[in-house]
Structure 1
C-alpha cells in the first residue's frame, strides 16, 4: 500500500494551518518570510481553491488557481508542493519534479514538504533518494505523524528489496500506532515472504479485527494457511475471496 492522494490532502491541510497568520504584508518576499503567508491572502486563498478543485478531479482549474497563487508569491513552498502533485496526477512528471524541487528549496526544513517530495520520488522508482527526504522528515521532533513516515520508508525499502530494514520501520510505525492497517498489511507481506507463517497469521488476524480484508490480503491469507496445512482456514479465506470477486 502506498501513501495516497488523500494523505497528500491531509499534508496540505496541515500546511495551510501552519502558514496562516495575521497582518498586512508587502508584495516583495524574502526567502526567510515567503512561508509566513497570511491565511486570507490572495496566494493562500488560491492554494486552498486549487486543492479543493484537485479533490474534485478538476485538474485544469486546480492548476489555474495554483499558478495564480505562485504569481502572488513565487516562493510559496506549499503552492509548489500542491501544483507538483497535480502535475504528477496528470503524468506530467518533469513539471511535477521541478515544482517539488522548488518546494524543498524554499522550505528546506518543513517536514511535510520533505515528506511529500519523498513520496513522489518513491512513486517514481527512486526509493533511496526518497528515503533521504523521509529521514529528514523524521529528524523533526515536532512532526505529528512519524508513523506514516516510517511506513513510507518501509514501502520504499521493499521496492529496493531491503526487507530487513523495511520490517524494522513497519514495526516502528506499529509501536507508534498499533492499529495502522498499512503497516499491518506490509508486515503480512514481509512475514509471508520470509516463510514465517505464524507471524503472518498473527498480523492477518490483527487486520481482521480492524477492517474487512481486501483481495490482496485474502490471497496471502489463503496461501499462508495452505502452506501451514490448515485446510479449513485456507478454504474459509478462499470462500471470502470468491464472494468478494462476485460482488
Structure 2
C-alpha cells in the first residue's frame, strides 16, 4: 500500500471514528436532557405547597436551551426532535411542539410516540380524520402499547359523527372499532382503571348490545376496586345492565347493597326505573 493510500485510509477511518464519537456524544447529551426534564416534571407533579414555580420555569428554560444547542449541533437527530417536541407539548407550547414532531417524523417515520403525539395535536385542532391515521400508524409500530389503543378509541368515540359524515365509516363499523380499541387497551393494561372502566362503558354503545359481556366486565371491575365507593359504583353499573336484561329481581337485590351516601342519587334513578312496568 502506497503512503498516500495509507494516509487516505487512515483519514477516512479517523473521520468515521469521529462520527461515531459525535453520535455517541449526541445520544449521551440527549439522555441527560431527558433525565433532567423527567426529574423536573416529577417534582412539579408532587403536591408541594413550597413548590417554586419561578425556579421550575428557569430550570425548564435551561433544558429547552440544551435541546436547541443539541439539535443545532446534530440536525439529523430524530430522537432529539421527538423528545423536545414531547417536552414542548407538555409545556403547552403546541405550535412549537408540532414543528419538532413533524421534523422527527420526517427524519425517522418509525417512532410510534411521534405518530401518537402528532395524532394528539391534530385531534385537538379539530382534525379527527387526519389524526386517526397517525394513531393507527402508532399502533402498527407498537401494537402492545395500551395508550395508543385507548387514544384511538377515544378519538373515534368523540368524533363519531365526523367519521360517519365523511362517508368513509359506517356507524356499526365505527362502534365495533371503538369497542375493539378499548378492549385492546384493557387487555394490555388490566391494572389501569381508566382503560378497563372505559372498556366496560363501551358495551353501552354496542348495537346489538352484549349485556352478558358488559355484566362480566363490571363484575371484574368490582373485584379489583380498592374502595367501597368504587366497588358500589361498579355494582350500580351491573344493576343497570341487569335492568336492561329485564332481570329485575336480581337488579333490585344488587341495589339494596349500595349504601354509600355519594351514590344514593344514582341508585334512586335505577330504583325509579324498576318501579316502571317492564318493557314488552
TM-score range normalised by the length of the shorter chain: 0.5 to 0.7
1:185 aligns to 2:197 (yes or no): yes
The alpha-carbon distance between structure 1 residues 118 and 217, as it changes in their structure 2 partners (threshold 3 A), is farther
Whether contact under 8 Å (1:78, 1:113) holds in the other structure is no
Structure 2 length normalisation: TM-score?
A: 0.59
Of 41, 51, 55, which aligns to 1:54? 41
What does 1:214-233 correspond to in 2, within 5 Å? 221-222=235-236, 225-226=239-240, 228=243, 229=248, 230-233=251-254
Residue range with higher mean Cα deviation, 99-108 or 218-227 = 218-227
Does the aligned pair in 2 maintain the 1:187–1:200 contact within 8 Å?
no
Quote the Cα distance in structure 2 between the aligned partners of 1:235 and 1:123.
43
Q: Deviations over 1:12-32 (max 9, x none)?
A: xxxxxxxxxx95117xxxxxx
Structure 1 CA distance for aligned equivalents of residues 211 and 28 of structure 2: 55
Partner of 2:48 in structure 1? none
| TM-aligned CA deviation for residue 175 of structure 1 | 4.9
Give the unaligned 5+ runs of structure 1.
1-21, 27-35
Where does structure 2 lack aligned partners over 5 or more consecutive residues? 1-18, 45-55, 161-173, 265-280
**CA spacing shift, 1:52–1:192, aligned 2, 3 Å:** same
* 2:189/2:195 contact within 8 Å kept: no
Q: Provide the secondary structure at the position in 1 that maps to 2:129.
A: helix
* Cα drift, residue 160 of structure 1: 1.9
Greater relative contact order (CA < 8 Å, ≥ 6 in sequence): 1
- Structure 1 residue 236: Cα displacement: 3.7
Alignment match, 1:212: 226
TM-score, normalised relative to structure 1: 0.66
Structure-to-structure mapping, 1:1-247, within 5 angstroms: 24-25=21-22, 38-41=26-29, 43-57=30-44, 58-74=56-72, 75=75, 76-140=77-141, 143=142, 145-161=144-160, 162-176=174-188, 181-194=193-206, 196-212=210-226, 221-222=235-236, 225-226=239-240, 228=243, 229=248, 230-237=251-258, 239=260, 241-242=262-263
CA RMSD of aligned residues (A): 3.6
Distance 2:226 2:179 in 1: 23
Equivalents in 1 of 2:262, 2:210: separation in Å?
A: 22
Q: Are the equivalent residues in 2 in contact too, given 1:50–1:64 (CA < 8 A)? A: no
C-alpha distance in structure 2 between counterparts of 1:164 and 1:48, whole Å: 40
Q: Cα distance 1:129–1:92, how it changes in 2: closer, same or farther (>3 A)?
A: same
Q: Distance in 1 between matches of 2:228 and 2:88?
A: 30
Q: Give the structure with the higher percent helix.
A: 2
Deviations 1:115-163 (A, max 9, x none): 23334444554433232112222333xx373433222211211112243
- Measure the CA separation in 2 of the matches of 1:114 and 1:213: 37
